[in-house]
Structure 1
Amino acid sequence: MTEITTTTTTTTISNDLQQNLSSEIIVNLSSDTNETTLSTTGTTNSMLDSTIVDEPPTKKCKLTTNDKPRLLEDRLSSILSCCICLDLSTLPIFQCVNGHLMCASCFNHLLADCKLKDEQTTCPNCRCEISKSNCTRNLAVEKTISELPIQCDYCLQIFLRSEIKIHQSQNCPDRPTICDYSLLGCNWNGPFHTLSSHLAICEYPTKTGLELIETIRAQKRGCDDEKKYLETVVDLLSLNQIGVSGMINLNNRIRTQADYFEIT
């Protein structure tokens, strides 16, 4: 009887231990599952946040463009400009056999430069041979340029290119001018519309001859020096053909191009 009671007690204790162990295991498993779920959720949220931050916008922003159309004179300026200096010139306009435009200044400079180097002159755009005989003036382009508008450098008003020269030299109220008594030594200069107010207070008309004699002598010496300088320049320019012939003869006597440029 005693053995049966002992066995029953032992069985009851073992059952209780098994239940306690099972409940602890279940609690531990549930806590581990919760931690794993939380960590997974946090990782997923961080990935979503990073994805949201790094993701480019679904639609590009609209670029603001200037839809204002270009004026006709602006479009013509780029078409009729010289292919060398890229400027609209009031000088005669020449064209090569393929129609590329060059102003007279650039055209003559190109011919002279190639002549000094004893090279064939070519068009800067198409490389065709050009000379004074095969290049012609383009009167249509010259007349078109003369009718294009241009801004005055002094009064900032708009005039035709054919009228701007006379306006700036004779009619513009803001054109620069000097005093009427500049030959007597007055150094004043300013806009034309202020000339009358200056003449009212200018002191040179009231000076005596003795006061003006030194100023006139100094100006005469300056004019003589300038005259001598200009005469020297004219003499040098009159030797143009002789200078070119000398350069050509010198080039024929020189063997290599490197020696040619070293000597010149």
Structure 2
Amino acid sequence: MSEAEATTSSSEPTNPLEAGEKSGDEFAEPDAKRRKTAGKSDDKKYKLEERLGGILCCAVCLDLPRAAVYQCSNGHLMCAGCFTHVLADARLRDETATCPSCRVEINKTMATRNLAVENAVSELPSECQFCNKQFPRNSLEKHEDEECEERFISITPPRGDGKSQLVFSVRISGCKYHRIGCPWRGPLHERAQHELECGHPHKTGAEVMDALQLLDQQMVDERKLYNTIFELLGYEKITFNDIQLKPYRTDEFVHRLFYESSRFSAFNNQWVVKARINNSQKDPTQSSERDMTYQLILKSKISTPMSLSYIVLRGPVGDIKVSPRVHQFDFTEQENETPYVSLPLPDTAECNRLLAAKTINFRLIMFLASK
């Protein structure tokens, strides 16, 4: 062997692993490609519905909408509750409502419902609050109301004949000793075990009487309301008006929001209904709880007193949710305004919905006592 050949052969790698490493480096993937493939493998750790849940969530509460979905002109999504809350806050501040993401103007005319997102969200899985199984959101309510074997039960107070009623309902359950003060609430499959261990059957007679008196008082109040309404329906002079309240501002340095109706006629006199938020709280936007109060104002001059009863109900125009409450006031020449009384709304969300609307509509029924 010549000296040149020996030199050449000695320079070649003798370890096959070293040779493999060299050939592997030549065919190695670029760094950019390795990063892309690594990212794809990380994405697979999260299910598609989880990724969609983060994309389709409300821009305000960051939760998936349960009903209607609104969007601004730039496409940012808001659930119906947050949308009305944003509009209500703007109404209270006397400002223009804006999207919380991009600050573009929004209102019930400019913001539109996104039906595609609503349909997509309705197909995403959600967990049953009773059995913890997952179902499509569009069938979850039916499952919880009718199909779930672990749904809650509710025992209503006795009827007039003394018999108790067992009513199936969601989110409410009760021990059969609830009438003597047992506060237990839970799913159906745990009820039997609880009743075996419940200590309320062994309470003293005095403790049982305290619990029964509270329930009896609630029933007395409810029966009194119905009896009062039936008695008023027997009055000779009854009239009703469909009222529309419109928003206005006070002339104070800090303008406060109030609502007022147009004049309407009843019993040959002119009347006005006025309403305010949180009893004219200085800044209602700082409160998480909101309610409305209203008063009835007599605009005509009268020479003899008028004993008037009145009640607010949902009328044919509008969809306000109110509970019946009867109020009575004696109008005189000096006293022509009733005190502010609560407009019996179910919760703050309903108050926000009314504030977000341009007007508030309801039916006012008035009963005039005969002399």
Structure ranking higher in strand proportion: 2
Structure 1, unmatched stretches of 5+, are: 1-63, 228-239, 257-261
1:192 aligns with 2:167: no
Higher helix share: 1
Q: How does 1:1-264 map to 2 (within 5 A)?
A: 67=42, 69=44, 70-170=46-146, 171-173=148-150, 177-198=173-194, 214-221=210-217, 244-245=247-248, 248-250=249-251, 253-254=252-253, 264=283
Percent of aligned pairs with the same amino acid:
39
Question: C-alpha separation between the residues in 1 aligned to 2:94 and 2:184?
Answer: 50
Does the aligned pair in 2 maintain the 1:151–1:157 contact within 8 Å? yes
State the Cα deviation string for residues 178-227 of structure 1 (Å, max 9, x = none).
124423544343331122445578798999x9996553212233677899
SS at match of 1:189: coil
Letter in 1 for 2:42: D
* Larger Cα-atom Rg: 1
CA deviations on 1:153-201 (whole Å, 9 max, x unpaired) are 3432212212333434551427573124423544343331122445578
The total of aligned residue pairs comes to 180
What letter is aligned with 1:73? E
Looking at structure 2, the residues matched to 104 and 127 of structure 1 have their Cα atoms a distance apart, in angstroms, of 18
Do the aligned partners of residues 150 and 216 (structure 1) sit closer, same or farther apart at CA in structure 2, a change above 3 Å counting? same
Residues 41-71 of structure 1, C-alpha deviation per residue, up to 9 Å, x if partnerless? xxxxxxxxxxxxxxxxxxxxxxx99736121
For residues 74 and 116 of structure 1, the distance between their equivalents in structure 2, rounded to whole angstroms, comes to 37
Moved over 6 A (4+): 200-207, 223-227
- Provide the TM-score with structure 2 as the length reference: 0.40
Let me know the Cα RMSD of the aligned residues: 4.1
SS in 1 for 2:78: strand
Alpha-carbon distance, 1:124 to partner: 1.8
**Alpha-carbon separation, structure 2, partners of 1:197 and 1:172:** 16
Provide the C-alpha distance between the structure 2 equivalents of 1:157 and 1:124, rounded to a whole number of angstroms.
Answer: 34
CA contact (8 A) 1:173 1:192 kept: yes
Aligned pair in 2 of structure 1 residues 196, 68: CA closer, same or farther (>3 Å)?
A: same
Aligned to 2:173, the other structure's residue is in SS state: strand
| Counterpart code for 1:137 | R
Q: Could you tell me the TM-score, scaled by structure 1's length?
A: 0.54
Going from structure 1 to structure 2, the CA distance change for 1:163 and 1:224 (only over 3 Å counts) comes to: farther
* 1:91–1:105 contact (8 Å) kept in structure 2: no
